[in-house]
Each structure stands twice: as C-alpha cells, then as structure tokens.
Amino acid sequence: VRIEQRGLVDVEKVPSEKGPPRKVYTLNERGRRDLAEFWTTWSFLAERLGRLRDGD
C-alpha cells in the first residue's frame, strides 16, 4: 500500500474466479527510477561496509 500511495506502481484490478478481484501491481517509471536510485545507494553502502569489514 505504501508504494501505491507514493505513486511508484500502477494498480489494476483483475477479475478472479474465486473471490474478489485481485490487485496486480506494475512498477511504473517513477518506481523504476526510485529502484535504480536504491540499488545505486545500496551498492555504495555495501562496498563501504565491505571495506570496513576487511580493514581497508
């Protein structure tokens, strides 16, 4: 729900044979940009932590 509220995904309700319609989430352009930024930041942090662990 948070990613939906932040506008990072598109939501489509798909009919279901059993029960209520299902929500299908698709990452949109804004979500892809945020994800790319997350991985860039994570890679930087992981590299720095590895250097600290190894004593570099």
pLDDT tops 90 at residue 2: yes
17 in a structural domain: yes
44 in a structural domain: yes
State the pTM of this model.
0.69
56 in a structural domain: no
Sort residue 4 into left (φ over 0), alpha (ψ -120 to 50) or beta.
alpha
pLDDT tops 80 at residue 1: no
Residue type at position 41: T
pLDDT tops 90 at residue 3: yes
55 in a structural domain: no
Q: Could you tell me which residues are beta bridge partners of residue 53?
A: none
What total number of domains does the chain contain?
Answer: 1
* Residue numbers of the domain that contains 9: 2-50
39 in a structural domain: yes
pLDDT in tens, 4-50: 999 999 999 999 999 999 999 999 999 999 999 999 999 989 999 99
Phi and psi at residue 22, to the nearest 5°: -95, 145
56 band by pLDDT with thresholds 50, 70 and 90: confident
Q: Where residue 35 sits, what CATH number does that domain have?
A: 1.10.10.10
